[in-house]
Amino acid sequence: MSDSASSEATFDSTSIFDLTGKVAIVTGGSRGLGRQMVLAFAQHGADVVVASRKIENCEAVAAEVRALGRRALAVAYHAASWDGADALADAAYAEFGTVDILVNNAGMSPLYPSPDAITEELFDKVVGVNLKGPFRLSVNIGTKMAAGDGGSIINVSSIASRRPGANELVYAAAKAAINNLTGGLARTFGPSVRVNCIVPGPFLTDISKAWDLPAFEKQARATYALQRGGQPHEVVGAALYFASSASSYTTGALLDIDGGPR
């Protein structure tokens, strides 16, 4: 029997989503999709670093992780800061000694009245949070992962990276760069580090409270195959897939979770 055949014969799929003994960092981890991923990782056995701008919100989610019996570290993190990315990595390694999973989830898409009203300050801020920070954090931690036991980097993009709207030009361009960066990092840090990307459509997180929901629901029925927005917990399956050994032969992939646009 060949080695591959022997491996297939002994493969046990019951534990492929098990994260016991793993350490994860989730940026933007104090609310919305980030919080759902933090809790899912903890429920599957991981210790988690919760990173976001407001330390009190990070501490609240870290307490939820500890209530699940896992270790947690709350870190105040400004995602546009190059030095902040290095400080977050240092804090995680100082506390846990390793990082196995990195989720670059932090993002921002501020509104503007018209394209010509976008200031240089706003442009730099949006690109900083959505691209510069994830780049620096990924190359810092990815280098350490590659020198050690490997790991998984999960970027979070947006369906706007493929179909940008008029009110999200800079955000969409930065997220398109994240799509591109995913493939580049996969080739840079392979074979021991996998780098993949979740590409969400409209999710009904706390941000959606500012939407005209009746208008959105009408549009969703007409333009999405599933005819609705996503619930925050519906990101969990993709996050667990990319974080765990379930995706051991997947890297450089972009996974749309967007309700199936028609």
Among residues of the chain, what percentage have pLDDT more than 90?
79
Helix H or strand E segment including 252:
none
Q: Is 30 inside any structural domain?
A: yes
Helix H or strand E segment including 196:
strand 193-200
pLDDT tops 60 at residue 3: no
Band (9; pLDDT cuts 50, 70, 90): low
How high is the pLDDT of residue 209?
A: 65
Band (204; pLDDT cuts 50, 70, 90): confident
What is the average per-residue pLDDT within 79-103? 98
Q: Is 1 inside any structural domain?
A: no
CA distances to 47, 105, 127 from 71, in Å: 5, 20, 32
The predicted-structure confidence for 151-193, as pLDDT tens digits, reads as follows 999 999 999 999 998 889 999 999 999 999 999 999 999 999 9
Q: Is 146 inside any structural domain?
A: yes
Q: Is 249 inside any structural domain?
A: yes
What is the average per-residue pLDDT within 62-72? 98
What is the average per-residue pLDDT within 241-250? 98
**What is the rounded CA–CA span in Å between residue 174 and residue 132?**
9
Select which of 77, 112, 171, 241 is catalytic. 171
Q: Hey, is 195 helix, strand or coil? A: strand
The predicted-structure confidence for 102-149, as pLDDT tens digits, reads as follows 999 999 999 899 999 999 999 999 999 999 999 999 999 999 999 999
Range of the domain at 197: 17-257
Provide the mean pLDDT of the chain.
93
Q: Is 83 inside any structural domain?
A: yes
How high is the pLDDT of residue 251?
A: 98
Question: Which residue(s) pair with 49 in the sheet?
Answer: 25, 73
Q: Is 9 inside any structural domain?
A: no
**What is the rounded CA–CA span in Å between residue 168 and residue 182?**
21
**Does residue 171 have an active-site annotation?**
yes
How high is the pLDDT of residue 1?
A: 43
Band (221; pLDDT cuts 50, 70, 90): confident
CATH number at residue 205: 3.40.50.720
Greater model confidence, 61 or 12: 61
In 3D space, the residue among 106, 56, 70 whose CA is nearest the CA of residue 85 turns out to be 106
Q: What's the total number of domains in the chain?
A: 1
Band (216; pLDDT cuts 50, 70, 90): confident
pTM of the entire predicted model? 0.93
